[in-house]
């Protein structure tokens, strides 16, 4: 089905029959993606009076309890409440779900013992395009991102200047395929997070960061309509399911 939508001052046609899912789902066990030094998620039948509530074990329904951390165990979207004392619920702060987005592919630069995404790289990739959301695919783009254990890996991160450039370009929603926009071990500075939400100034409470996505190689760089689904948690972050739709000429 082809839908025509009015987005700000533009009329856009999108193909609803070909959604492009860029999320990593949560599943129980060690094969799940993981970060931040905690155990894998658990999805297990609840137990009553020594019996598991599972159809395979004789119950009439499946009744699983799920234990996970949204920041560690899959694609998740977070608000400024992730890094400040005041509570900012993703359920209350994210009120719009469709955004004009750009997908870019970036090969991180070597910086001392690290790999970073710089302002220069982002400027080259985005140019003068006006977008509300930016999806960053780091290269090389291997399928093991969907099950990688990131703890102690010193993953790629954004420089503070790179984040400040995105703010100047009007990016409200940043989606990345790493566990964090910041260095894994940075002494608690969180420079990229703080810059993105303008901590110390007027907070950008309507801005979000989505981490641990996976953009398949079949998804070409370019402009898309992003539908940013979240689970309705009253928390600083929630599991999320970002979906891209091609924009037709």
pLDDT value of residue 157: 98
Contact 169, 207 (CB under 8 A): no
Q: How far is CA 3 from CA 44, 103, 205, 249, in A?
A: 40, 21, 30, 13
Q: Is the dihedral of CA 20, 23, 26, 27 positive or negative?
A: positive
Hey, which CATH number is domain 14-26+70-248, 3.40.50.300, 3.50.30.50, 1.10.3210.10, 3.40.250.10? 3.50.30.50
Residues facing residue 211 across a β-bridge? 76
pLDDT value of residue 120: 98
**Per-residue pLDDT in tens (0 to 9) along the chain, 249 residues:** 888 888 888 889 999 999 999 999 999 999 999 999 999 999 999 999 889 999 999 999 999 999 999 999 999 999 999 999 999 999 999 999 999 999 999 999 999 999 999 999 999 999 999 999 999 999 999 999 999 999 999 999 999 999 999 999 999 999 999 999 999 999 999 999 999 999 999 999 999 999 999 999 999 999 999 999 999 999 999 999 999 999 997
Contact 197, 165 (CB under 8 A): no
pLDDT value of residue 210: 98
The structure's pTM equals 0.96
Distance CA 116, CA 121 (A): 10
Domain ranges of the chain: 14-26+70-248
pLDDT value of residue 8: 83
């Amino acid at each position: 089905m082809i839908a025509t939508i009015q987005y700000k001052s533009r009329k856009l046609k999108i193909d609803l029959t070909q959604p492009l899912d860029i999320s990593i789902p949560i599943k129980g066990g060690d094969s799940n993606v993981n970060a931040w030094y905690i155990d894998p998620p658990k999805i297990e039948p609840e137990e009553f009076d020594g019996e598991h509530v599972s159809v395979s074990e004789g119950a009439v329904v499946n009744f699983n309890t799920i234990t996970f951390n949204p920041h560690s165990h899959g694609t998740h979207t977070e608000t400024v409440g992730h890094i400040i004392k005041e509570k900012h619920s993703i359920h209350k702060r994210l009120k719009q779900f469709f955004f004009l987005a750009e997908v870019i592919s970036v090969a991180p630069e070597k910086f001392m013992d690290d790999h970073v995404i710089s302002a220069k790289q982002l400027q080259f990739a985005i140019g003068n395009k006006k977008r509300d959301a930016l999806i960053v695919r780091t290269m090389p783009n291997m399928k093991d991102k969907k099950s990688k254990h990131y703890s102690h890996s010193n993953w790629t991160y954004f420089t503070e200047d790179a984040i400040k450039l995105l703010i100047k370009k009007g990016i409200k929603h940043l989606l990345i395929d790493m566990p964090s926009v910041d260095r894994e071990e940075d002494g608690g500075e969180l420079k990229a997070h703080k810059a993105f939400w303008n901590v110390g100034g007027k907070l950008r409470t309507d801005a979000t960061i989505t981490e641990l996505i996976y953009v398949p190689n079949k998804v070409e760089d370019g402009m898309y309509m992003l539908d940013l689904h979240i689970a309705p948690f009253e928390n600083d972050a929630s599991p999320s399911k970002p979906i891209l739709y091609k924009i037709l000429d």
